[in-house]
Amino acid sequence: MSGHLLRRVRVAEVEPVANRIKRFRLVDSGNAPLPAFSGGSHISVVMRSGDRLMRNPYSLMGSPSDTSSYEISVLNADDSRGGSRFMHGHVSVGSELEIGQPLNLFPVRKAARKHVFVAGGIGITPFMSMMDDLDALGSDFEMHYGVRSLDDGAYCNHLLSRYGSRVSIYRQDKGQLIPLAEVLSAQRLGSHMYVCGPKPMIDWALQTAKLSGWPDENVHFEQFSTPPAGKPFVVKLARSGRDILVRGHQSILEALEEHGIDAPFLCRGGACGQCETKVLACDDFIAHNDHYLTEAEKVSGRKIMICMSRIQTGSITLDL
Amino acid sequence: MGLTFRDETFRDDFTFTNSPAGIRRFPFPFAEDHYRYSVNIEPHKPGPKGSVVEFPFDIDEHYVSEMRERAMVLEADPLRCQALPHMMTAQWEMLDLLMTSLARDYPDLFTLHRDGAQWHWINRPLGIDQTFTFGDASTLPFGPMEYIGRQVQGDFTIQDQRDNQLWLDAGILTSPSDWSLDFNLGMNFTEWHAPVPLAHEAGVFERALKFLLNLQTGNPVRRLNWGLTINPRLDTSPETYHKWGHDRATVTAENVGKKVHLRVELQALFRLPKSNAILFSIRTYLISLEQLVTVPNWGRRLPRVLGSLPPEVVEYKSLSRYRDTVLAYLANYDDGVPTSPGRDPD
């Protein structure tokens, strides 16, 4: 699958932009132009630490029309499984990394009359390129950005100086909350809302939109979830007859890759559907952690998204 | 390059024909003797030199005459080219991709000079020399999609991607196989494929849509589609059905070899990176049965495939009225010898 096509890049710049958040600027190793991309796209970054292989998705934040470099922002998360900690601790100017092709699972609706963005913390990143795109097109948008404090929120000053009154910042340390119900009730028909941030915030925003009478088609979210940890279990591969142990802090996909098995993937966040795999037998109920399968498919237990989902005990046999 | 452009017509006196080299490079679509519906999507990678897939966009001996035919169709019916307002970024990306590809792949025919947003485009076969500002549609005589679409063989549509669907929101379509841009504009992938029989039940479109939603920049894909058509007519649109629908009743044992043509569409899909839209090119090739059977392997295989079609497919491809006449004619060229594998002539 094309998700495996990788490009070598070099880190040209690293800048701390807030507490625990660094911005990395990446250029092609051979200084070739990088592919153009659309607002809301992300890339997966491959990190090699000893014999460990990690791949994390990060939103592209620079201007989509600038193909000389890509910019990503990385939060050194408390619950980091290693990827963002590696980026913070071991990647500096001159480091080489590999990245995949840009992929957009969070596109703006070009025909929308107005775009209402709701961001929490590091969830600001996909909106950076979207706003750049929309600003160039002269499209109508507003941004509501919730941060813990000004020291914790990346790009607050940049956003205010570039977009002025189109950006509202809400500081948790001052007790400020995004007045989302009011924001949504003030929008014209044909407006679209987009939310990105921690899961509780996304759930709250989706619920608020529903209670405000917004149609589902006008509400969009992106959640970069990492595969939840759990207990170790065994994956049996029906086609090759191999048994692979999935450790507690690994996803099935990561365990397969560690053993040199080529499995399909793209987003690694349970959203794109590329890694959908048939389940032939299973000792346990599957903990489905993806946003892709329908409820009926999840209940059937016949399909699993191997980038995100796992079982608690025993073994699962896959059509791989 | 050595391309000699034929002066020929796709209407009225139908002087279209393939040169001997044109026959050899025809994209014969059947790799085996039995019909099988499949998605058959493969990477749109450069193929053998001289083949129709040597380059992403194929220019051949019919180029100049096909562009003249397209201009006539657009003159009579401007609705063959339409774009919804939110597709402007994608239109410019299409122009960029086509001009860049043609200038790179056919340097003796096309030249592109870029100085920032100031572009200079030279199309020698059509005698065009145009300076314009990229991104400013007022500096071109047509919108960007129509401007470049009038200079590249094949129909084009552009699909917007939203809500996990593809939406047919722009296109230039003057040689359709009986479907209408005006009717389909604004439909989604599931809707515009609704008339296709059998494939829905097999889950073909669900899988194809999922695949295309994840199509990546720089990794285009292609497939072949086929049908039979009467006379080398490119414009078989619903809008002009009154002009060609009755042609099916004119096929006789005497004229079948000259009148009936195998019509193959080389369909390719390209992700447009800035708009996140997908460009769909439908490049049509025509060959009369009389020319097709000059390749023995194809002459043997075509009747075997046509004889194995499910009734629904015969109906959908509108073959019912003349398939028996075609099979009787082709029977003369099927000596029962096993065919060689693959689609190549030899």
pLDDT digits (tens, 9 = 90+) for A118-142: 999 999 999 999 999 999 989 999 9
Q: Per DSSP, which regions of A121-242 are E strands? A: 141-147, 167-171, 191-196, 219-222, 233-237
Chain B residues whose CB is inside 8 A of the A41 CB are: 276
A-B contacts (CB, under 8 Å): 57
Q: Dihedrals φ, ψ of A132, to 5°?
A: -60, -45
Chain B residues whose CB is inside 8 A of the A35 CB are: 217-218, 273
| Cα distances (angstroms) measured from residue A218 to each of A54, A259, B187 | 34, 42, 18
Question: Residue A4 pLDDT more than 80?
Answer: no
Question: Residue A3 pLDDT more than 50?
Answer: no
pLDDT digits (tens, 9 = 90+) for A160-183: 999 999 999 999 999 999 999 999
For residue B218, what are the contacts with CB-CB under 8 A and spacing of at least 6? A5, A35, A101, B271
**pLDDT at residue A5, as a whole number:** 74
- From A90, A85, A75, select the one nearest A120 (Cα to Cα): A75
**pLDDT at residue A2, as a whole number:** 38
pLDDT-derived band at A150 (thresholds 50, 70, 90) equals: very high
Beta bridge partners of B284: B265
Q: How far B337 CA sits from the closest chain A CA (Å)? A: 37
Question: Residue A79 pLDDT more than 70?
Answer: no
ipTM of the complex: 0.77
**pLDDT at residue A222, as a whole number:** 87
Average confidence (pLDDT) over A135-161: 95
- Per-range mean pLDDT, top range of A74-88, A236-250, B230-244, B307-321: B230-244
Q: Dihedrals φ, ψ of A46, to 5°?
A: -95, 130
Say if residues B318 and B246 touch (Cβ distance below 8 Å): no
Partner B contacted by A273 (CB < 8 A): yes
Average confidence (pLDDT) over B249-271: 97
Q: Please tell me whether residue A229 adopts helix, strand or coil conformation.
A: coil
Question: Residue B38 pLDDT more than 70?
Answer: no
**pLDDT at residue B4, as a whole number:** 94
pLDDT-derived band at A1 (thresholds 50, 70, 90) equals: very low
- From A147, A97, A122, select the one nearest A20 (Cα to Cα): A122
Average confidence (pLDDT) over B302-326: 92
Percentage of residues in chain A having pLDDT higher than 70:
98
Of A38, A109, A266, nearest to B275 by CB-CB distance is A38
pLDDT digits (tens, 9 = 90+) for B141-188: 999 999 999 999 999 999 999 888 999 999 999 999 999 999 999 999
Flag if A266 and B214 touch (Cβ within 8 Å): yes
Beta bridge partners of A315: A234
Chain B residues whose CB is inside 8 A of the A277 CB are: none
Flag if B214 and A111 touch (Cβ within 8 Å): no
Question: Residue B301 pLDDT more than 70?
Answer: yes
**pLDDT at residue A80, as a whole number:** 66
Q: A156-163 and A125-137 are packed helices; what angle lies between their axes, rounded to 10 degrees?
A: 10
Identify the closest residue of chain A to B219 by CA–CA distance.
A2
Give catalytic residue positions of B.
223
| Cα distances (angstroms) measured from residue B235 to each of B6, B26, B177, B343 | 19, 20, 8, 27
Q: How far B185 CA sits from the closest chain A CA (Å)? A: 15
Q: How far B316 CA sits from the closest chain A CA (Å)? A: 32
Q: How far A38 CA sits from the closest chain B CA (Å)? A: 4
Best interface-test mutation with B: which of A60, A110, A135, A307 has the largest number of B CBs within 10 A?
A110
Beta bridge partners of A63: none
Least confident stretch, A64-68, A263-267, B295-299 = A263-267
Chain B residues whose CB is inside 8 A of the A109 CB are: 162
pLDDT-derived band at A8 (thresholds 50, 70, 90) equals: very high
Percentage of residues in chain B having pLDDT higher than 90:
81
Question: Residue B112 pLDDT more than 50?
Answer: yes
Beta bridge partners of A48: A53
Chain B residues whose CB is inside 8 A of the A137 CB are: 89
Flag if A2 and B219 touch (Cβ within 8 Å): yes
pLDDT digits (tens, 9 = 90+) for A17-71: 999 999 999 999 999 999 999 999 999 898 887 777 788 889 999 888 888 999 9
pLDDT digits (tens, 9 = 90+) for B42-58: 889 999 999 999 999 99
Instruction: Give the residue numbers in B contacting A (CB under 8 Å), as ranges.
Output: 84-87, 89, 160-163, 210, 213-214, 216-219, 273-276
Flag if B214 and A110 touch (Cβ within 8 Å): no
Average confidence (pLDDT) over B219-228: 93
- Mean pLDDT, chain B, whole residue set: 94
Chain A residues whose CB is inside 8 A of the B216 CB are: 2-3, 5, 101-103
